[in-house]
Amino acid sequence: MHIMKELKYIIELLYSHFLLRDLAGKVVPGAVILFTTVITLDCFSYIDLFKSKLQFVVWILLLTFSWIIGLAAQAIGSHIRIVRYSVKYSPTCEFHEVLRKFRNSKKDDKDDQRLERFMAIGEAYGNGAAATIVAYLLWLVLFYVINKDKWMLFNLGNNYNYYFPENILVITIIAIVSFISLLLGHRETIDHQDEFISTVINEDNSEKADNNSLERDA
C-alpha cells in the first residue's frame, strides 16, 4: 500500500511538473515560436539533421532550446500582464504571502497537488497566449523584412497598388482566435486557483475559530 502511494505521488509530480509545467508550459510555446521562425525563413534544409546519426543530440538541443524560448515568452507575457500568477491576490508579494498561509492551512498533500495542477495549467495557458503573440509578431516582422520591396505603396495615376501577403488574413484570424482562447483559459484557471486557495484558508480559519470557541466553553 505504501509503495502504491509513493508511485501515485511520483506520477502526480511527473504530470504536474514535467507534462504540464515543462512540456506544455515551456517546450510547446517555445517550439511554436521556433517553428514559426523556421517556416518564415524557409530553413527546411536543416531537417536532414534529424535523420543523421546525431539525431538524438539534435532532439535534445531542440527541446532545450524550445524550453528556453518558452521561458523567455513567459517573461515577456508576465511583463506585459498576459501571464498572471493570481488575479485576486496582487501584487506578487501578496500572492506569496497567501501561498504561505495556504501551506499552513492545507489538510493534506492532496491540496498541494491540486494547487500545483491549477498553477501548472494556468502557466501553460498563459505561456501559450504569450507565445502566440510573439510568434505572430515575429512572423510579421520577418515576412516584411524578406519582402520589404513588395510592401512599398506607390501611386499609378489614381490607383494605389500594394502587396498583400498571401494568407495573411487567415494567419491573423488563427492567431487572434488562438490568443483569445488561451487567454480566457488562463484567466479562468487562475480564478479557480484563487477560489481554491481562499476556500482552504477560510475553512482552516473557521475550524480554528470553532476549536477556540469550544475551549472557551469548556
Closest CA to 82 of 48, 123, 140, 39: 123
In a domain, 109, yes or no: yes
In a domain, 22, yes or no: yes
Q: What domain range is 201 assigned to?
A: 2-206
CB 122 within 8 A of CB 190: yes
In a domain, 12, yes or no: yes
In a domain, 196, yes or no: yes
In a domain, 71, yes or no: yes
Q: What is the pLDDT of residues 85-136, one digit of tens each?
A: 887 777 667 888 888 888 888 777 788 888 888 988 999 999 999 999 999 9
Q: What is the pLDDT of residues 194-215, one digit of tens each?
A: 999 988 888 877 877 666 665 5
In a domain, 216, yes or no: no
d(C-alpha 218, C-alpha 213), whole Å? 9
In a domain, 56, yes or no: yes
Number of domains in the chain: 1
Q: Which residues pair with 154 in a beta bridge?
A: 161
Which residue shows C-alpha cell 487572434?
A: 176
In a domain, 215, yes or no: no
